[in-house]
Amino acid sequence: MIYLDNAATSHPKPPEVIAAMTSFLTDVGTGTGRGSHRQGMGANRMVFLARERLASLLNVADSSRIVFTHSATESLNLAVSGLLRPGDHVVSTTMEHNSLARPLHRASQGGVSVTRVSCDRSGLLDLAELTAALRPETRLIALSHCSNVTGIIQPVAAIGLLARSRGILFLLDAAQSAGALPLDVNELSVDLLAAPGHKGLLGPPGTGFLYIAPGLELTPLLVGGTGGSSSGPEQPGSSPERYESGTANTPGIAGLSAGVEVVLGRGVDQIRRHEQGLTRLLFEGLRAIPGVTIHGPADPELQGGVVSLSLDGQDPSTVGYRLDREFDIAVRVGLHCAPDAHRTIGTYPHGTIRVSPGFFSSEADIAAILHALAAILHA
């Protein structure tokens, strides 16, 4: 199988990730904070190391401000519902994944005002239009760093500076950028950053995290056992305990930690160059095939490793099926859980064919899908 669906979940996983999960289950096998025995302390050390590695990746000074969740979706729900109150105003965009759009919609039903700024046909946000949407009561700007539909990279450094200058908090959905693009929470003036573990960070599904800036406290999604501070009925006040009730997915965190170590060892800049090179080859090949439309900037400098396209006269679902069954190539088709993004770029309701090379993809993989698309178009 040629796997080109890394924007959904990176595959295959590095051997280090599989080894770390196996070793944890074999040698430790317990949760954090649930015992003072050697195995319990081993779990504590492993989770601490995972936080430290993520802190290094994001330039976070205090790793206790990184909270583990089971997904970017959970992280975004914690950020939105834990922060916003009736009367608050949020500015977002029309390019958001449902993992952010739906929590914002629910907040709007509870008295939070939400403004979604329209983006252009490539998915790019106009900073002037964002600025015009701000109000005195604006509490939060919330948007994705890199679109999961067109791959467009938003001007997040400028957005962060704008938010900071107005005293507005900035929530960044880094689902498509963590591990694939340089991320520094200080340089980007980010207050909240949500990411999954199973995409660019090369970890297993069922892992994610939320960075919460120092001094910012949220209402937890869950309350209950945290492994410590057990004497009273109130939820602990300190991070990360405050936000991590229940038994953690420690085998998953072990795998995530190993994935982050691989990313740090390779270097995000090198990973970015690798994916840019493959994306450039893909664009060059697609432009040479009559009947292909590329949706987005079609410029590796302006986007991550996410490419949306359509074939004249072909339903995306049919193309995806044929790529899988006839050519052994895995891609994503449809709306990619981002219907408003497809309305923005003009591909609703059928969606697009999304090709997303990743850490282990090769030039041969790109050549194979170009050959397959040409064959499907001109059969």
Rounded CA gap, 146 and 303, in Å?
A: 7
Structure tokens belonging to residue 149: 């539909």
Please classify residue 327 by burial: count the beta carbons closer than 10 Å to its beta carbon, then call 0-12 exposed, 13-18 middle and 19+ buried.
middle
Query: Quick one: which of 198, 82, 187, 84 has its CA closest to 145?
Result: 187
Evaluate whether 88 touches 112 at the Cβ level (below 8 Å): yes
Active site residue 146: no
Q: What are phi and psi of 155, to 5 degrees?
A: -75, 70
Residue 3 DSSP symbol? E
Structure tokens belonging to residue 349: 């309701």
DSSP lists the bridge partners of residue 194 as 173, 210
Structure tokens belonging to residue 25: 């289950």
Query: SS3 letters for 126-144?
Result: CHHHHHHHCCCCEEEEEEE
Residues 6 or more apart in contact with residue 313 via CB below 8 angstroms: 291
Rounded CA gap, 136 and 37, in Å?
A: 53
Q: For residue 141, what are the CA distances in angstroms to 82, 115, 178, 367?
A: 15, 10, 19, 40
In the set 41, 221, 337, 377, the catalytic residue is 337
Structure tokens belonging to residue 186: 């200080």
Q: Which residues are catalytic?
A: 337
